[in-house]
């Protein structure tokens, strides 16, 4: 049976990225990302907020981009997968940490914040605009990162193939929305010209 391990987060950095380099020279960046959920308490009829904190790891060129452009408070869209690591604490006991390994990152907000930014798709996650970094999955902007193919189900995106495409440095172009454009006049079929455009 097939399985899926996919995480999509939109949130803000709680601190500046922490970057280190492996013996191979590859960069590894770690961030703490806050996501906030709002709900209405039925007992008090007040809105409440619950914040969750997530550990996210970036590797290679994507880690270098995170280090260069993101800072505490930056808004970001991340796609990745869950990974659980086993390690030993100072007391010799085995410990486990679950984190997100990012495949794609999209900077959100204006230039005053995280820079880059990107237009939002119809899904509200900001996919499909320019200024993003990631693999072929998800489409839209960018050109760096993951190297995993994708089906470009969200947003416009000019670079990858329609399914299973992408690659480590595909992408680019971008823009657009998943909703088809409307005619400028707002009219129906009555205003269409009889000439076929092809």
The more confident residue out of 84 and 177 is 84
Q: What is the value of pTM for the model shown?
A: 0.57
> 126, 144, 174, 163: which is closest to 62 by C-alpha?
144
Structure tokens at 107: 């900077």
Report d(CA 79, CA 92) in Å as an integer.
Answer: 34
Chain segment 122-181, per-residue pLDDT in tens: 333 333 344 455 443 433 444 344 443 333 333 333 333 333 333 333 344 444 444 444
Largest distance between two CA atoms of the chain: 80
Domain boundaries, the chain: 7-179
Question: Looking at per-residue confidence, does 164 or 193 come out higher?
Answer: 193
Q: For 12-25, what is the mean pLDDT?
A: 96
Burial class (CB in 10 A: 0-12, 13-18, 19+), 124: exposed
- Which helix (H) or strand (E) segment is 63 a member of? helix 61-69
| CATH value of 7-179 in 1.20.140.70, 2.40.50.140, 2.60.40.10, 3.30.70.360 | 2.40.50.140
pLDDT band for position 189 (50/70/90)?
A: low
């Amino acid at each position: 049976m097939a399985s899926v391990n996919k995480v999509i987060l939109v949130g803000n950095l709680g601190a500046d990225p922490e970057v280190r380099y492996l013996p191979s020279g590859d960069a590894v960046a770690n961030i703490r990302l806050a996501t906030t959920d709002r709900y209405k308490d039925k007992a008090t009829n007040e809105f409440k907020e619950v914040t969750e904190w997530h550990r996210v790891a970036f590797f290679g060129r994507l880690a270098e981009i995170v280090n260069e452009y993101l800072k505490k408070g930056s808004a970001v869209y991340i796609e990745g997968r869950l990974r659980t690591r086993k390690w030993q604490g100072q007391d010799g006991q085995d410990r486990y940490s679950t984190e997100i390994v990012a495949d794609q990152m999209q900077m959100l907000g204006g230039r005053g914040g995280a820079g880059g930014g990107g237009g939002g798709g119809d899904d509200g996650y900001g996919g499909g605009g320019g200024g993003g970094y990631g693999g072929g999955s998800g489409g839209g902007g960018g050109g760096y990162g993951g190297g995993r193919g994708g089906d470009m189900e969200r947003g416009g995106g000019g670079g990858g193939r329609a399914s299973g495409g992408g690659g480590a440095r595909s992408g680019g172009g971008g823009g657009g929305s998943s909703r088809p454009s409307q005619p400028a006049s707002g009219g129906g079929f009555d205003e269409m010209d009889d000439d076929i455009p092809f």
